[in-house]
């Protein structure tokens, strides 16, 4: 046992202090083994850091500095081996705790950030924030012309805000729409008249592209007069004048109306 180890062990004994699961302890990596590392944490027996307890997710590359013998840092104490009385340590769990602490702060401060797009699936985008996997649902991607593909989102990163978090379920849901709307809020005011382009036709209404934000024109907001106007036929690509009637900046939602508006059509432009 080293002199420093002896001194620390004496201090622990003097104050009758025992390490417990969940403690955060400082230690120095002293030996690299096949499936883990021996770590001097000042106790009579050295701690053990399994290699699977190094990183939060496999997409992260392990820092070479972490592998260096004599590297000193904090570790999370998982448990004590009943047979060997050796403390089992983790870097991953400590980083996980600290990552969620930073994520909660980002959420509270309503911060907009850029994230790299890691991969896509039918439902949306997978990305990582502070090493924690996040998901951007397709419904929360600001504007997609056709199908969701990496080619429709260039460059290969995306502006986001945190939509919902659940640390217990390790769930992080992000929104690109919410981030974009926050950046453009100076252009969207309740009662404001704007021109937008029809991008989607549904039985319940239309979706209008306004400054890249997908706004809903519900059929109830077309108005009786406009619905009875045989000359008014909405087509994809058409520009129409609308009035902003609802803004939900948290979810990136905008609703518009053409009730009682005159000269709502402007011109046609096909995709």
Residue 264 forms part of a structural domain: yes
Give residue for tokens 């046992």: 1
Domain boundary among 93, 123, 144: 93
CA atoms within 13 A of residue 124's CA, in its CB half-sphere: 17
Q: How confident is the model at residue 122, as a pLDDT?
A: 86
Alpha carbons 207 and 266: distance in angstroms, whole number: 16
Q: Give the number of domains in the chain.
A: 3
261: domain CATH number?
2.40.50.140
Q: Is the pLDDT of residue 214 over 80?
A: yes
Structure tokens at 176: 């690109």
Residues 74 and 153 both lie in one domain? no
Alpha carbon distance 211, 191 (integer Å): 17
For residues 12 and 51, give the distance between their C-alpha atoms in angstroms, rounded to a whole number: 28
Same domain, 141 and 80: no
Q: Could you say which DSSP state residue 58 is in?
A: T
| Residue 105 domain flag | no
Residue 82 and residue 52 share a domain? yes
Q: Are residues 9 and 66 in the same domain?
A: yes
Whether residue 103 is contained in a domain is answered as: no
Cis peptide before 155 (omega within 30 of 0): yes
| 168 and 204, same domain (yes or no) | no
Structural domain includes residue 226: yes
142 within a domain of the structure (yes/no) = yes
| Chain segment 86-136, per-residue pLDDT in tens | 999 999 999 999 999 999 999 999 999 999 998 888 899 999 999 999 999
Q: How confident is the model at residue 226 (pLDDT cuts 50, 70, 90)?
A: low
CA distance linking residue 90 with residue 36, whole number of Å: 11
- Domain containing 236 equals 186-268
Looking at residue 232, its pLDDT comes to: 58
Domain assignment of residue 169, yes or no:
yes
The pTM of the full predicted model, rounded to 2 decimals, is: 0.74
In a domain, 58, yes or no: yes
Share of the chain above pLDDT 90, in %: 50
Q: List the structure tokens of 6.
A: 């002896």
Are 14 and 75 within one domain?
yes
Final residue in a domain of this structure, among 165, 181, 197: 181
* Rounded average pLDDT over 131-150: 76
């Amino acid at each position: 046992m080293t002199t420093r180890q002896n001194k620390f062990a004496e201090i622990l004994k003097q104050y009758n202090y025992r390490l417990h699961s969940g403690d955060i302890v400082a230690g120095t990596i002293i030996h690299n083994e096949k499936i883990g590392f021996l770590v001097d944490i000042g106790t009579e027996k050295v701690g053990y850091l399994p290699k699977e307890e190094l990183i939060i997710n496999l997409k992260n590359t392990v820092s070479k500095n972490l592998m260096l013998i004599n590297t000193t840092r904090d570790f999370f104490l998982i448990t004590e081996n009943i047979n060997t009385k050796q403390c089992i340590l983790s870097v991953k769990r400590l980083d996980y705790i600290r990552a969620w602490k930073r994520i909660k702060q980002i959420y509270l401060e309503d911060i907009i950030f850029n994230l790299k797009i890691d991969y896509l699936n039918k439902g949306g985008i997978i990305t990582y924030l502070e090493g924690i996997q996040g998901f951007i649902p397709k419904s929360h991607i600001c504007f997609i012309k056709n199908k969701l593909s990496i080619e429709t989102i260039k460059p290969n990163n995306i502006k986001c805000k945190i939509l919902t978090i659940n640390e217990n379920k390790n769930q992080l849901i992000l929104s690109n729409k919410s981030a974009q709307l926050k950046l453009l809020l100076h252009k969207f005011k309740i009662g404001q008249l704007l021109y937008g382009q029809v991008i989607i036709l549904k039985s319940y209404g239309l979706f209008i592209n306004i400054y890249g934000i997908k706004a809903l024109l519900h059929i109830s907001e077309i108005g009786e007069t406009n619905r009875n106007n045989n000359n008014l036929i909405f087509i994809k690509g058409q520009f129409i004048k609308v009035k902003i009637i609802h803004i939900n900046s948290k979810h990136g939602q905008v609703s518009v109306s053409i009730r009682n508006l005159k000269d709502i059509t402007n011109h046609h432009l096909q995709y």
